[in-house]
Amino acid sequence: MPIVLAVKNLIQNAPFRIRFGQWDFGNGEEQAGVFTIDPAPAKAPNPVCVVTQQGGPHIESSFSCRKLASLEALINIRIWGDKERTDAALRELAWSVHGLFFVRGPSILAVTGWVVRQQTISAPSKLADSEGFPGYSLNLAVTVTKERGL
């Protein structure tokens, strides 16, 4: 879905991207470890970010004033750290991701063929996996409508 890729690209190119583990996605250069597959590759160095969509691409609804194809997608952003280190830096990184979407608002996302109408992001919440890796989860709700003429 284009929304997931837009979120991934935004995080991957943000000023704080150097704080993520670096990964070669097959183009010969290392980039911030932001993945749209869950789980992230086991060999990816921490911290990593996993961006997934929980629903939305098939939803059609109408606004009260006019009928437009619209979509609301719930994007889950999880940031995983290293179980051998303190999670203070990981928490700071999670809040940096939060600030990217919270401060700049809907104008920060560009989704081809869609107009972003609204976005809301939750505060980072702490989580851990069964192997003891620390993590933070953020939920991003994005409402878009089709661009006119498409």
Which residue segment(s) compose the domain that 138 sits in? 2-146
Cα distances (angstroms) measured from residue 55 to each of 2, 76, 129: 13, 10, 23
Torsion angle, CA of 71/76/120/111, rounded to 10 degrees? Answer: -50
- The enclosing domain of 37 has a CATH number of 3.30.2000.30
CA dihedral sign, ordered 25, 31, 32, 36: negative
Distance CA 8, CA 95 (A): 16
Total number of domains in the chain? 1
What Cα–Cα distance (Å) separates residue 66 from each residue in 47, 93, 111, 112, 147? 44, 40, 21, 22, 14
pLDDT tens-place string over residues 82-106: 877 778 899 999 999 999 998 776 6
> Please, which residues bridge with residue 52 across strands?
76
pTM, full prediction: 0.85
Per-residue pLDDT of the chain (150 residues; tens, 9 = 90+): 578 888 999 999 999 999 999 999 888 989 999 999 989 998 999 999 999 988 665 444 444 445 557 778 899 999 999 877 778 899 999 999 999 998 776 667 777 777 888 889 999 999 978 888 899 999 998 888 877 654
